[in-house]
């Protein structure tokens, strides 16, 4: 059977065995379609049923999370941890707290994470977790009680050699602190390497907070350099205004770009003079309020409620909010507005239809699996520092991050060329990540 036929059969089986999990199906299909040349070249993967095994998580944990709000009312949420693949190292991947979280979303994220972690070249497997808990509007005490209850179950499944969670949407430094505190209390172990994204005062690493956003921009710069271009002077749009978005905007500005807009789930702001990042950080990191606050302090800027940011003309788009946030219509608007490069800071923000629009228009495209891998790479560096009881400077950590992003870019670029698809970063990232995981799985036997 050819690689293409084999992929089709496996995909049909994944859909049958995982009904209703549309995001998981989407992520699997994208990978299966692009690794066909690798399957044709390496029949040993098919013989050992590597792909069937890769599509089935090693373990899926679903649990009840009861907690009490400030008025004494009891709430019940659902917690998830999907331990996808540990061929390369302990499961590694973030926790997401958002009302949209369900098993299919956690599985799509864990599946993507497995290849992304392979691509970093670091000893980390893939996993992901979270809850349908909505942190918006909750007090600090409520967030703490939720995190403690979540950890009351999660603690028995994680450990520095087993599974090492980190942050994702709705889980930042504050939440990691509460989660780590409860883990320490239950286990009576100061096991720094059990969680990453910790605060700098208790085992966290420099540049972890900035790493995903900075890494995406380093990747963008590498893509541009392959055609002798630079980020300097480019008009950049960033969606979202969370951890990834803020630090993508910061690094883009440092490299000379003008970041003219960002968003949250209420709408977007446009500031043609370039975003005031200190103001944005105050609004989003300290006060944790809606993005329209920005225009109160910068009256020349505009707030546009309820519309996608992609209607604003730009040169480079860096989606940093959530999955499937760029539709085919958004993609057509971006192309018409002059966008020549899309770099995914978020996980799978581009729909398959939008990707086809970009391909048709010759827009260069860097998938999240490669472009946002700086976050998990910095987490692996945090684990390294925890294991050796060491802490590195900001400058050294940023240098390491930049080197890693250059290597990931080179690996995607050369793999795409090797398989006859030059410039196709989706194929390059999927094949390079897949091959690393597949080789380790072959070496470890049927497990």
Q: What are phi and psi of 93, to 5 degrees?
A: 165, 160
Q: What is the DSSP string of 224-283?
A: HHTTT--STT-EEEE---SHHHHHHHHHHHHTT-EEEEEEETTEEEE-TT---HHHHHII
Angle at 160 between CA 156 and CA 161, to 5 degrees: 90
Give the DSSP letter string of 153-167: HHGGG-BTTTEEEE-
Taking the least distance from each CB to ligand NDP, the nearer of 3 and 242 is 242
Cβ proximity to ligand NDP: between 57 and 215 the closer is 215
Instruction: Report the nearest approach of ligand NDP to the CB of residue 108 (Å).
Output: 10
Half-sphere exposure of 84 (CA within 13 A, CB side): 34
> C-beta of 174: minimal distance to ligand NDP in Å?
11
DSSP at 309: G
Report how far apart, in Å, the C-alpha atoms of 134 and of each of 77, 131, 152 are. 9, 8, 19
Question: DSSP per residue over 166-227, as a string?
Answer: E-BTTB-HHHHHHHHHHHHHHHT---GGG-SS--GGGT--TTHHHHHHHHHHHHHHHHHHTT
Residues in touch with ligand NDP (CB under 6 A): 94, 167-170, 172, 212, 240-245, 264-266, 320-322, 345-347, 372, 375
Structure tokens at 411: 């690996």
Cβ distance to ligand NDP smaller for residue 3 or 83: 83
**Residue closer to ligand NDP (CB basis): 23 or 264:** 264
Q: Shortest CA distance to 196 belongs to which of 179, 217, 213?
A: 179
Question: Closest CB to ligand NDP among 23 and 168?
Answer: 168
For the annotated catalytic residues, the residue numbers are: 128
Which residue sits closest to ligand NDP, CB atoms considered? Answer: 242
């Amino acid at each position: 059977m050819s690689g293409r036929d084999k992929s089709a059969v496996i995909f049909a089986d994944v859909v049958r065995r995982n009904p209703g999990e549309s995001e998981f199906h989407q992520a699997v299909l994208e990978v299966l379609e692009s690794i066909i040349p690798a399957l044709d070249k390496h029949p040993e993967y098919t013989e050992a049923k590597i792909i069937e095994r890769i599509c089935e998580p090693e373990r899926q944990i679903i649990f009840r999370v009861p907690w009490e709000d400030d008025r004494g009312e009891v709430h019940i949420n659902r917690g998830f941890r999907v331990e996808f693949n540990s061929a390369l190292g302990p499961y590694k991947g973030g926790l997401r707290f958002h009302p949209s979280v369900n098993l299919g979303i956690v599985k799509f994220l864990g599946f993507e994470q497995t290849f992304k972690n392979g691509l970093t070249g670091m000893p980390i497997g893939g996993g992901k977790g979270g809850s349908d808990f909505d942190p918006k509007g909750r007090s600090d005490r409520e967030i703490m009680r939720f995190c403690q209850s979540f950890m009351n179950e999660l603690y028995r499944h994680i450990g520095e050699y087993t599974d090492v969670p980190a942050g994702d949407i709705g889980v930042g430094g504050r939440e990691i602190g509460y989660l780590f505190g409860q883990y320490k209390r239950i286990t009576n172990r100061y096991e720094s390497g059990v969680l990453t994204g910790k605060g700098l005062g208790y085992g966290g690493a420099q540049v972890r907070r900035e790493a995903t956003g900075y890494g995406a921009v380093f990747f963008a710069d590498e893509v541009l350099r392959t055609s002798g271009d630079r980020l300097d002077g480019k008009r950049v749009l960033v969606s979202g205004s969370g951890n990834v978005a803020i630090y993508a905007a910061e690094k883009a500005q440092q490299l000379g770009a003008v970041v003219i807009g960002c968003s949250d789930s209420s709408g977007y702001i446009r500031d043609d003079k370039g975003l005031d990042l200190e103001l944005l950080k105050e609004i989003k990191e300290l006060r944790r309020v809606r993005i329209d606050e920005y225009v109160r302090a910068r009256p020349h800027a505009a707030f546009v409620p309820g519309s996608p940011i992609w209607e604003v003309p730009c040169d480079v788009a860096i989606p940093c909010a959530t999955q499937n946030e760029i539709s085919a219509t958004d993609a057509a608007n971006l192309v018409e507005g002059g966008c020549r490069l899309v770099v995914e800071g978020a996980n799978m923000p581009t729909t398959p239809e939008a990707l086809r629009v970009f391909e048709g228009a010759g827009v260069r495209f860097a998938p999240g699996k490669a472009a946002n891998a700086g976050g998990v790479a910095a987490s692996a560096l945090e684990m390294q520092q925890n294991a050796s009881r060491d802490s590195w400077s900001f400058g050294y950590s940023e240098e390491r991050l930049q080197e890693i992003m250059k290597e990931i870019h080179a690996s995607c670029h050369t793999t795409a060329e090797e398989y006859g698809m030059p410039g196709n970063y989706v194929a390059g990232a999927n094949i390079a990540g897949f091959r690393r995981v597949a080789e380790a799985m072959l070496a470890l036997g049927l497990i």
